């Protein structure tokens, strides 16, 4: 599996974990982040190469630092 | 100006600064990152909402941690 897919899988997994820690459904997170519900599902399943602005929306809606969702990137460098 | 554009402007500025610190032209950075030269210019001018995978390619090509290019995001939270 390419490191690129690995990154999307890791990012999606962290979003899912943070969402569950907050007790939010995908629908609730999507609404808080002004994104579509299916988009959140696709991000969690690593089906989308997420953009910077949507990452910021999701981090803000989860009330976590963007860096917390991306730590794996630099640890794997 | 929306915080979203502000994020792209900040990110583009950091890529440009890191590129210049390494003495690389846009063309050289693009080649190292396996991206198109014009794409690097668009990122530096905040004309593109960059994706996670391309951010990782650029950080790796610049030999900087992705977090260094994104610090402004969480400081502005």
> CB-based contact (8 Å) between A20 and chain B?
no
Give the Å distances, CA to CA, from B47 to A51, A60, B41. 13, 23, 9
User: Is residue A8, in this structure, part of any structural domain at all?
Assistant: yes
pLDDT at residue number A77: 44
User: Is residue A73, in this structure, part of any structural domain at all?
Assistant: no
User: Is residue B77, in this structure, part of any structural domain at all?
Assistant: no
Domain harbouring A21, CATH code: 1.10.260.40
Which residue from A minimizes the CA distance to B10?
A: A52
Give pLDDT tens digits for A49-75.
999 999 999 999 999 999 899 988 776
pLDDT at residue number A28: 98
pLDDT at residue number B77: 44
User: Is residue A74, in this structure, part of any structural domain at all?
Assistant: no
pLDDT at residue number B72: 82
User: Is residue B74, in this structure, part of any structural domain at all?
Assistant: no
In whole angstroms, what is the distance from residue B18 CA to residue A56 CA? Answer: 22
Average pLDDT, chain A: 91
> CB-based contact (8 Å) between B2 and chain A?
no
Q: What is the count of structural domains for chain A?
A: 1
In whole angstroms, what is the distance from residue B55 CA to residue B20 CA? Answer: 17
Residue A43 belongs to what domain range?
3-66
A51 strand-pairing partners: B51
* Residue B66 near residue A70 (C-beta atoms within 8 A): yes
User: Shortest Cα distance from B70 to chain A (angstroms)?
Assistant: 8
pLDDT surpassing 80 at residue B75: no
């Amino acid at each position: 599996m390419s490191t690129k897919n690995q990154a999307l899988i890791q990012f999606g997994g962290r979003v899912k974990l943070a969402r569950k820690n907050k007790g939010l459904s995908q629908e609730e997170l999507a609404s808080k982040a002004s994104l579509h519900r299916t988009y959140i599902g696709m991000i969690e399943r690593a089906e989308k190469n997420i953009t910077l602005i949507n990452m910021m929306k999701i981090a803000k809606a989860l009330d976590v630092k963007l860096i917390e969702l991306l730590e794996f990137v630099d640890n794997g460098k």
